[in-house]
Amino acid sequence: MYNKMLVLLDGSKLAEVVFTYAQELSARLNLTLELLHVCSSQEAEQLPMRQAYIDHMAEILQSKAAEIRSKIGDSTQGKTIQAKGTVVVGYPAEEILKYADGNKIDLILLSSHGRSGIRIWDLGSVADKVIHASKIPVWLVPSELKEAVIWDKLPKRTIVIPLDGSELSEVSIPHAINVGKQRGAQFEIILVYLEDSRLADFATTLSQIEQLKALRLSKKKYLDDLVQRISKEGINAHSEMLVGNPAPAFFDFLKNNPPQLVVMSAHGHTGITGILFDGVSEQILRMVKRTPILIAKSIM
């Protein structure tokens, strides 16, 4: 289970989408929160003012989280959500990772946008560096996050996991289970298997077509086994197989089946591994702008 979450704020309106979402998460997951604001060396003289800002935001977050817990009737509402703010000077990505390492942080929550502008996933962006280097899961909040997601008002509570049949992609499953259980509400996990349509293009002979059919049957069994494993945890689950250009096909699936959360897998230190082939995971991150993504880490 997760206990302590680091929330990144840079003073921008876009980054404060994270702040609003953090209120809901901390209330429903019963998380201790640590807010972090990183100043550049040129901004160091403003340290007292920035510390006042982050302290004020921590107070608001703690109060709002308590209100939400009271409204949802949380059985643990007698336990106060704790929140504190810290300001440091340095390079944002480096300081974020250093703080997480030194303060027993379980999750990093940050926006895909911020002071660096609206071009998501520019090479060298803070979010990109943190995601690729973090040892712990990173919960990414897009700037266009749906209000229904923030306030838990989607028609269905679902967590979607993209898979490619590898053990690495399955690393995301226990993280999804933990999040769902920690929320304490009824939810469903949807396993989405991504098959590159080019596999069918290469199946031109009768023998190759038969091999492709056998492969798909084995994938179906693989998914059924995973669904059964998840069901043993007392969680509703089902699977979907998508055939096409993997990232766009997955994006279309999300548009037609809006989830509360997407959970993806990645290697620690070595960056996001491509689902099916290099770059698919990166494409998904660029395309999904209205749904939070939890990037589960596997330290290799």
The span from the CA of 182 to the CA of 233, in Å, is 13
Report strand pairing: 188-196 vs 236-244. Answer: parallel
Q: How far apart are CA 288 and CA 149, in angstroms?
A: 14
Asked if 1 and 58 count as a contact pair (C-beta separation under 8 A), the reply is: no
The pLDDT of 10-32, averaged and rounded, is 82
Query: Would you call 95 helix, strand, or coil by DSSP?
Result: helix
Query: Please, what is the average pLDDT of the chain?
Result: 83
pLDDT at 10: 77
Overall average pLDDT of the 283-290 stretch: 83
Where in the chain are all domains bearing CATH 3.40.50.620? 4-145, 153-299
| CATH class entry, domain 153-299 | alpha beta
How far the first Cα of the chain sits from its last, in Å, is 21
Q: What pLDDT sits at residue 105?
A: 96
Above 70 in pLDDT, residue 53? yes
Backbone angles phi, psi at 255, to 5 degrees: -65, -35
Cβ count within 10 A of residue 92: 24
In terms of CATH architecture, what is 4-145? 3-Layer(aba) Sandwich (3.40)
- Alpha-carbon distance of 23 to 37, in angstroms, equals 17
Query: How far, rounded to the nearest angstrom, does the alpha carbon of residue 211 sit from its chain's CA centroid?
Result: 36
pLDDT tens digits for 116-133?
433 333 334 788 888 888
Rounded CA-CA distance 300/297 in Å is: 9
pLDDT at residue number 298: 66
The predicted model gives 201-226 an average pLDDT of 85
| Average of per-residue pLDDT across 264-283 | 58
**β-bridge pairing 107-111 and 4-8:** parallel
CB 36 within 8 A of CB 21: no
> For the chain, how big is the Rg over CA atoms in Å?
20
Give 58: exposed, middle or buried? Use CB within 10 Å, 0-12, 13-18, 19+.
buried
Does the pLDDT at position 239 exceed 80?
A: yes
Coil/strand/helix, residue 143: coil
| pTM, entire model | 0.86
Dihedral sign (CA 83, 152, 231, 164) = negative
Q: If pLDDT is split at 50, 70 and 90, which confidence band does 273 have?
A: very low
44: confidence class by pLDDT, cuts 50, 70, 90: confident
Query: Which residue bears the tokens 């209000």?
Result: 147
Phi and psi at residue 228, in whole multiples of 5°? -65, -40
Kindly tell me if the per-residue pLDDT of 95 is higher than 60: yes
Helix (H, G, I), strand (E, B) or coil at 190: strand
**Distance, CA of 205 to CA of 163 (rounded, Å):** 28
Spatial separation of the C-alpha atoms in residues 80 and 46, rounded to whole Å: 31
Name the residue type at position 158: T
